[in-house]
Amino acid sequence: MTNDKPVVLMPEDIQRIMGKDAQRNNILAARMVAEVVKTTLGPKGMDKMLVSPTGEIVVTNDGVTILQEMQIEHPAAKMMVEVAKTQESEVGDGTTTAVMIAGKLLENAEKLLDNKIHPTIITKGYQLAAEKAQKILQEISMQITPENEDILRQIAMTSMTGKGAEGSKEKFSKIIVKAVKQIEEGGRYDLDNIKIEKAQGEGVHDTELISGIVLDKEKVSQDMPKKLGDARIALIDFPLELKNPEIDTKISISSPEQLQNFLNQEEEAIKEMVEKIQKSMANVVFCQKGIDDFAQFLLAKAGIYACRRVAKSDLEKIAKATGGKIVSNLTELNPEVLGKAEVVEEVKQGEDYMTYVRGCQNPKALSILIHGGTEHVMDEIERALMDGLGDVVSSLKTGLIVPGGGAIEIEIARRLRQFGQTLTGREQLAVEEFASALEFIPVTLAENAGMDPIDVLTELKSRHDSGDKNAGLNLFTNKIENVLEARILEPYKIKSQAINSASEVATMILRIDDVIASEESGNQNQPGSSNITGLE
Ligand code: ADP
Ligand code: MG
């Protein structure tokens, strides 16, 4: 007996595109992502202004920030954003580079696909090339030690060149290297020990390194002490008030006595809270939630310094810095869980008051206080500082650095081509394309600086062919020079991570020949449209 019913594999609302269409569509979307960040690459790259649906504005040059703010939805494009995110978390810099290499690898793969080369051959060739590129990279990178402070500062400066921070990069590079050296613990560097805080007013150049924690909070009451020595800090993540606004309580009161009773009860409860804090010997309270007026009054009377609505992440930093523990209940509060610091004080910064916690139990705790005229400026400075911090830390972690300005990319490409010659199959073509994808970095650096990319590439290649492996594009002079001497230096890890994630995502996208998307997955976009939303 035969069954005439059609075979239903998937519900109707599932979108499916297959084969070449799927592949081309994914490649196109991924390339579009690379295209977006391309113009920001390098010291002469431009900035982007991103406007959120609520009208908030971000002006930035930072690859990962741009892509995150864009709310990209295409699945393959999202994979590219992941590349930037990985780069950011692993190194903290080089996000544009990583995304651009990935985009170019895919663009070049398309050429091979057009020439009827099978995707598996391309991915095989790309893998061979990526492995070889890592080996070459290791061979030509240079060693540094923590004592090479000048070089570390140059690395920080290279990462800030062309960013909002450029004007003060000398000073910032000193702050960065000093901060990183201070947080060193047995050869390890935990950037969580550095808190970045912003104070509006004064110039960017007044940005400073402060040992201890700086908190963008004033004390809740004028009657509290301005400065406290021998600080014993209670860190609490619940409100010091009674009414929980989330719970509507109804009370029925029929006489004035009842009302008075009720108010008395409330006062009693608050008094009890403050007494518990006093009993724990705390003289400072950092509270994640609100503090009731009456509680403020009582705390001030007890000579306690208190801040309210301290961000959870800040509480965590303070806990780490002062050796305290965040408590969720007053019964947990005792002398053991209090954080210790030599001084807690309120300091006026421009128009605002801030709280400084100095002489923390953990001397590794540092703050960088960014000054600047507007939020947007300070945010971009923060991103540049984070790039610099990430670069210096990763240079120290691996002890390896490379010449920038495209020098390293050209040298790897040159040696990859030689390696390609030793291969017999069609993978050779893929290795070639891999090499040319790397050359896209100096090409774009030149293009963004208004130079002729073909001239630049030709000269760079011939200089490298004649053995000048540190020849790169110096965008201070707009000349091809020995960039090592020009001190344009970058951490090895930027490049190794970028090559690694870029080739991974490119091969992953190339292997896909079927996209099955269900509507429920929140995919308002059809898989067939290469629309990158958010930036119409
Ligand atoms: P990314 O997000 O990839 O870090 P950037 O916009 O920070 O992108 O640009 C980094 C690139 O700029 C690197 O290739 C680096 O070598 C190059 N670069 C930095 N300073 C200079 C300079 N003075 N001359 C030429 N290239 C530079
Ligand atoms: Mg950078």
In angstroms, what is the span from residue 96 Cα to ligand 1's centroid?
9
DSSP codes joined into one string, 385-449: HHHHHHHHHHHHHH-EEEETTTHHHHHHHHHHHHHHHT--STHHHHHHHHHHHHHHHHHHHHHHT
Helix, coil or strand: residue 379: helix
Among the bound ligands, the one closest to the CA of 162: 1
Relative to beta strand 352-360, strand 339-349 is: antiparallel
Whose C-alpha lies nearest to ligand 1, atom 19? 158
Taking the centre of ligand 2 as the mean of its atom positions, its distance from the CA of residue 345, in whole angstroms, is: 36
Burial tier of 211 (Cβ tally within 10 Å: 0-12, 13-18, 19+): middle
User: What is the location of CATH 3.30.260.10 in the chain?
Assistant: 145-209+365-398
Task: Specify whether domain 212-362 bears CATH 1.10.1660.10.
Answer: no
β-strands 184-185, 142-143 pairing: unpaired
User: pLDDT digit of tens for each residue in the chain (536 aa)?
Assistant: 556 787 878 777 888 888 888 889 999 999 999 999 999 999 999 999 999 888 889 999 899 999 998 889 999 999 999 999 999 999 989 999 999 999 999 999 999 999 999 999 999 999 999 999 999 999 999 999 999 999 999 999 999 998 878 888 999 999 999 999 999 988 899 888 899 999 988 888 889 999 889 999 999 999 999 999 999 999 999 999 876 545 556 667 788 888 888 778 888 889 999 999 999 999 999 999 999 999 999 999 999 999 999 999 999 999 989 999 999 999 999 999 999 999 999 999 878 899 999 998 887 889 999 999 888 899 989 999 999 999 999 999 999 999 999 999 999 999 999 999 999 899 999 999 999 999 999 999 999 999 999 999 999 999 999 999 999 999 999 999 999 999 999 999 999 999 999 999 999 999 988 888 886 554 444 444 444 544 33
Confirm or reject CATH 1.10.560.10 for domain 14-143+402-518, answering yes or no: yes
Q: What is the pLDDT of residue 534?
A: 41
pLDDT of residue 244: 54
Give me 66's structure tokens: 């741009």
Instruction: Give the C-alpha separation, 331 to 480, whole Å.
Output: 68
SS (H, E, C) 330-367: HHHCCHHHCEEEEEEEEEEECCEEEEEEEEECCCCCEE
Quote the pLDDT of residue 270.
Answer: 92
- Rounded to the nearest angstrom, the distance between the alpha carbon of 106 and the centre of ligand 1 is 22
Outline where 280-343 has alpha helix (H): 293-301, 312-322
What positions carry a catalytic annotation?
62, 95-96, 387
Level-2 CATH architecture, domain 145-209+365-398: 2-Layer Sandwich (3.30)
Please answer whether residues 130 and 510 qualify as being in contact, where contact means their C-beta atoms are separated by less than 8 angstroms. no
pLDDT attached to residue 528: 47
Nearest CA to ligand 1 atom 1: 94
Atom of ligand 1 minimally distant from the CA of 486: 23
End-to-end CA distance of the chain: 57
For residues 440 and 100, the answer to whether their CB atoms sit within 8 Å is yes
Q: Which pLDDT value is given to residue 7?
A: 83
Query: What does the chain come to in residues?
Result: 536
Pocket of ligand 1 (CB under 6 A): 40-43, 45, 61, 63, 93-97, 158, 161, 404-405, 441, 445, 473-476, 488, 490
Tell me the two tokens of residue 401: 């650095």
pTM for this one?
0.84
415-424: Cβ within 8 A, 24+ apart: 415/132, 415/136, 416/129, 416/132, 416/133, 416/136, 419/129, 419/132, 420/129, 423/125, 423/128
Distance CA 46, CA 392 (A): 24
The DSSP bridge partners found for residue 188 are 185
Pairing of strands 400-403, 489-491: antiparallel
Residues of the chain within CATH 1.10.560.10 domain(s) are: 14-143+402-518
d(CA 207, CA 195): 13
Q: What is the pLDDT of residue 525?
A: 47
Residue ranges of the chain that CATH labels 3.50.7.10: 212-362
Which bound ligand lies closest to the C-alpha atom of 98? 1
CA neighbor of 40 nearest in space, from 449, 479, 455, 325: 449
Cα(52)–Cα(74) distance, integer angstroms: 19
- Which pLDDT score, from 0 to 100, does residue 20 have? 84
Q: What ligand 1 atom has the least distance to the C-alpha of 93?
A: 4
**pLDDT for residue 201:** 82
In this structure, what are the phi and psi dihedrals at residue 162, rounded to the nearest 5 degrees?
85, 0
Candidate of 37, 40, 41 to mutate for ligand 1, largest count of ligand atoms within 8 Å of Cβ: 41
- Pairwise CA distance, residues 460 & 480, whole Å: 7
Query: Residue 350's closest CA among 172, 171, 198, 226?
Result: 198
The predicted structure's pLDDT at residue 530? 47
